[in-house]
Each structure stands twice: as C-alpha cells, then as structure tokens.
Homo-oligomer: A and B are copies of this chain.
Amino acid sequence: MIELLILNLSARDTLDAGEIGELERVIKHERLVPTGVDMVREGSRPKESTLLLEGIAGRYRVLEDGKRQITALHVPGDFLDLHAFMLKTMDHGVIALSPCKVAAAEHKDLKQVTETCPHLTRMLWLSTVIDGAIHREWIVAMGRRSKKGHLAHLICELFTRLSVVGRVSDNSFHLPLSQAEVADTLGLSLVHLNKTLQKLRGDDVIRWVDRILTVLDWNELKRIAEFDDSYLNLIHEPR
C-alpha cells in the first residue's frame, strides 16, 4: 500500500526496515474517492494526513467571485496535506481530479514518529519542503515565463514526477484533467489555455488525446519550458 511513498522517499535517501515498518504501522484506512469530490475541505481541522495511492488530486482555493486557482497537483505517492499536521487548519481544499485511492496517517501517530524516529521525521519534513520548492517554481513560471513556457513546464514537471513512481510508459502518461482544470492551475482563461495548447501541439512536441498525454520531443519541450529538474530534489543523499 505504501510502496509508492517509499519509492518517492527512497529517491531522496535510504529508508531502513524499521522506518518502513513504522510507515506501514502508521498509514491505514485505505479508501476510494470519486472524481470531483473534496477529500479535504478548506477551513477544516483534519486529525489525519492523507497519502495519495492512486489518481491525481489538486489543492485549490476559490475566491469570492468564484474564480478558482489550483495551487498544487499531486501524483500517487504524495502526501496531500502533510503540512496540516503542523498547520492544524487547512488553508485550502483538496479535490480528486480523477478517481483516487487514498490512505491516512493519524496526527497522533505522526507525532509519535517525531518523538521516536528522527531520521524518518526529517524525511517527512523533506517531503513538505519539496512541496514548497514546487510552489516556488510555479511562482516563477506564473510571474516570468511565457504562457507556452509555463504550460510546457507543467508538463515537464508532471512527466518527471510521474516517472519516479512508474506512471510513465512509452513517453505517455494519464493526464485526467479537463482543459478548464489545467487553465485553473496555470491561472489562465479556458479559451486562452486552449490556444496555448495548440501552439505546443503545432510544434509537434506533445499530443494529448483521450486524456493521455504523450511527449513527442522531450528535448524541445524541455527547451521551451527551460526545465531543470533540480528543484524536485531527485538526488539520493543522507538527509
């Protein structure tokens, strides 16, 4: 059940058997969440943190005028709201963007991990800090990249993150979002997202049909995005 989390963490540092056992002990209550359903509500005070096992989920906020901004996308093996363990109150919602399978770690158990397993604690801390690094990269993309570059960057990021957890084959991955949802993650209007998408398609760097995204020319896509994966911290070293 927690294989993908282990894959995710092991890409950054080695976990020993005791730590893996501890994770297995702490993570439980597997359940399914249908597309479109909120798994965590804004303003709530969850008593547990949620690990995504299958599917794509998004963190989002909606403003008074109804505009929505997705602030993070999550792939299998990601914690959706580990930060809530420290923050206590959710400052955003989390929605299932495809059918999702999730499991939960109770905060009282996580607290016990921080009391007894320093290295595992640091690895969990690391995963929230990588979230932060991704946030920063999104800020850079929103502020200073072209829209085409921003979209290309998002695709590069998802491609890379999904590769780590074995969800890419034949240069393709399942991208279940609608164009409206992608627009809400880039901060674009739906119409303009569509036109931006067509520019990328026109360059023959990607194909996206039936919710399957195929990268046709990785080097060119990377160049358009100015993508450098170092912010994802896919380096194995002692933490």
Contact = CB atoms under 8 A, between A and B. Distances in A.
Interface stretch (A57-65, A98-106, A201-209): A57-65
Given A86-B126, A142-B142, A143-B186, 5 more contacts: A63-B140, A86-B129, A121-B125, A128-B129, A142-B143
Given A121-B121, A136-B92, A63 B144 contact: yes
A198 to B, nearest CB: 21
A72 interface: yes
Interface in A135-152: 135-140, 142-145
Contacts of A118: 114-115, 121
5 nearest CB pairs, A to B: A143-B187, A135-B135, A132-B132, A86-B126, A69-B143
Interface string A69-113: 101100000000001001111011000000000000000000100
11 contacts: A63-B145, A69-B139, A69-B143, A71-B140, A83-B132, A87-B233, A91-B230, A111-B122, A138-B139, A139-B139, A143-B187
Contacts of A115: 118
A59 B145 contact: no
A35 B51 CA distance: 43
A115 B114 CA distance: 9
Contact of A114 (B63, B68, B122, B131): B122
Nearest to A68: B144
- Number of copies of this kind of chain in the complex: 2
A42 to B, nearest CB: 10
A77 to B, nearest CB: 18
B239 A86 contact: yes
B71 A136 contact: yes
Contacts of A63: 140, 144-145, 226
Interface in A180-239: 184, 186-187, 226, 230-231, 233, 235, 237, 239
